[in-house]
Amino acid sequence: MIARLTGQLLSKSPSTIILDVQGVGYEISIALSTYFSLPHLKDSVTLAISTHIRNDTIQLFGFLTPAEKETFTLLTGISGIGPKLALSALSTLNVKDILSAIQRNDVERLSSTPGIGKKSASRIVLELKDKVAKYISTDALPGEQLPAEDTVQADAESALTNLGYRPLDVQKAIKRSREKLDDPSNLELIIRESLKVLAKN
C-alpha cells in the first residue's frame, strides 16, 4: 500500500492533482482543504496517502496534514461512507468543524455535506463520538496558495459541481457570494460562502 508520496506538482484542480514521483505521474484525489494549501506548480510537495482498491482499480487519496487523513480514515470506517463522500465532507467542512459536529451531536451540520443525509450523519455521530476526542486539537492548515483572479470563477464552479450540486445552482450561488464578499477574488471564501447559500436552497 502507498502511504506517502513526495514529488513535483504537475497539475492541480479542486478535486485532483498529478504528482511526478521520479518520472511516474500519480493521479491523486484531494479535498478542497488540501487544494487551498498546495504549493505552486512544479514545486515539491509531500502528501499522506490513503490507498483504496476497488474492482481492480487503485485509487489514491492525498492529504497535506495528518489531521485530514485521520478524519478521512474515521469517516470511511463508517458503513455507507465511501472515500468520495469522506472527501466531500472534508471539502464542505474543515477538520475541526467535522470533529466538533460529531462531538456535539450536530447532525444538521454534518448533513450539509452533499451525499450525506441525516440518517448517515446520525450514524457518523453514533459510531465516532467516542473516538474523536483525541483528534479535536489539530493545527491550523498551512497558508493557502490561491489561483489567479481570472481562474477563480471556473475553479469555484468546478469545486462545487464536483461536490454534487447542479451547475445552474452553483453559478447562482457563486454570483450571490461574490456580491457579498469584500474580496470577490478569494476562492476559498467564495466556495465557503457558496456552500452556505446552496445549503439553504
pLDDT at 55: 77
Sign of the dihedral defined by the CA atoms of residues 124, 128, 132, 138, in that order: negative
Which grid cell is 137?
Answer: 486539537
Please tell me the CATH code under which domain 66-135 is placed. 1.10.150.20
Q: 10-residue block means of pLDDT along the chain (201 residues)?
A: 88 94 94 89 92 85 88 89 92 87 89 89 89 53 35 78 82 86 84 89 71
pTM, entire model = 0.66
pLDDT at 8: 95
58 bridge partner residues = 53
The C-alpha atoms of residue 77 and residue 73 are separated, in whole angstroms, by: 6
What are the structural domain ranges in the chain?
A: 4-63, 66-135, 149-200
Burial class (CB in 10 A: 0-12, 13-18, 19+), 63: buried
What CATH class has 149-200?
mainly alpha
pLDDT at 1: 67
Is the separation of the CB atoms in 123 and 15 below 8 Å?
no
pLDDT at 18: 96
Please tell me the CATH code under which domain 4-63 is placed. 2.40.50.140
- According to DSSP, residue 164 is labeled T
Of 182, 183, 181, 185, residue with least CA distance to 196: 181
Which grid cell is 141?
Answer: 492548515
